[in-house]
Amino acid sequence: MGPALEKLGYELIQVEQIATRRPVLRLYIDLLADAGAGVTLDDCQKVSQYVSGLLDVEDPLPGAYALEVSSPGLDRPLVTAEHFRRFVGSEARLQLHRPLQGARRLRGRLCSEADGVIEIEVDGQRLSLPLAEIRAARLVPDLAAELRSKGDGH
């Protein structure tokens, strides 16, 4: 599905399948050419209609389900090496597969990504982690910076 969305100008960030009474298939998308603009409601509707058509043909999920298409949000997931590179300097929360120094959850500033290994500064200490050791990662929103970028200044 990712390559098909790229042809439309979108990056498929993450897919979640949520088991509820009526299962939900949630797609997080972003614009490929990030010119400072974010994903709009029109973008989500366009992708939803396109993906609905694909899923009707392929029918990968049994039974009825709801399709949700969303922007990644301010606390966007970091999934690929490119995501980590793009957000070097930003604060992130990580969940690890195995504890590191007794902790499975870390929060710190992303310093670098190279060859599938990130460096993150946690409490003044730089740690190196292979991406394979990271179960989940999300940006920590910098609300003050977001307000400044919107011109609000408060």
Tens of pLDDT, residue by residue over 66-124, are: 999 999 999 999 999 999 999 999 999 999 999 998 999 999 999 999 999 999 999 99
- The alpha helices in the chain, defined as continuous H runs, are 2-7, 41-58, 81-86, 143-149
Domain stop point among 47, 70, 93: 70
The answer to whether residue 11 scores a pLDDT higher than 80 is: yes
Same domain, 96 and 65: no
pLDDT at position 20, please?
A: 85
Claim to verify: residue 6 and residue 66 sit in the same structural domain: yes
Q: Which residues contact 41 (CB under 8 A, 6 or more apart)?
A: none
- The CA-atom distances, in angstroms, between 24 and each of 55, 72, 138 are 13, 16, 21
Instruction: Write the secondary structure of 89-127 as one string of H (helix), E (strand) and C (coil).
Output: CCEEEEEEEEEECCEEEEEEEEEEEECCEEEEEECCEEE
| Lowest-pLDDT choice from 5-9, 16-20, 113-117 | 16-20
Q: Do residue 53 and residue 92 come from a single domain?
A: no
Cα angle: 114, vertex 115, 120; to 5 degrees: 40
Query: CA–CA separation, 48 vs 66, rounded Å?
Result: 11
Domain match, 85 and 116 both: yes
CATH number, domain at 48?
A: 3.30.300.70
How much is the pLDDT for 145? 63
CATH code of the domain containing 117: 2.30.30.180
Question: Domain for residue 152, yes or no?
Answer: no
**CA 48 to centroid of chain Cα atoms:** 18
Residues 131 and 108 in one domain: yes
Asked whether the beta carbons of 1 and 61 are under 8 A apart, the reply is: no
Residue 149's pLDDT band, with cuts at 50, 70 and 90, is low
Domain span at 86: 81-144
pTM of the model: 0.80
Same-domain status, 47 and 103? no
Q: What is the pLDDT of residues 22-74, one digit of tens each?
A: 889 999 999 987 655 789 999 999 999 999 998 888 777 777 889 999 999 99
User: Are residues 66 and 101 part of one domain?
Assistant: no
The total number of structural domains that make up the chain = 2
Residues 16 and 53 in one domain: yes
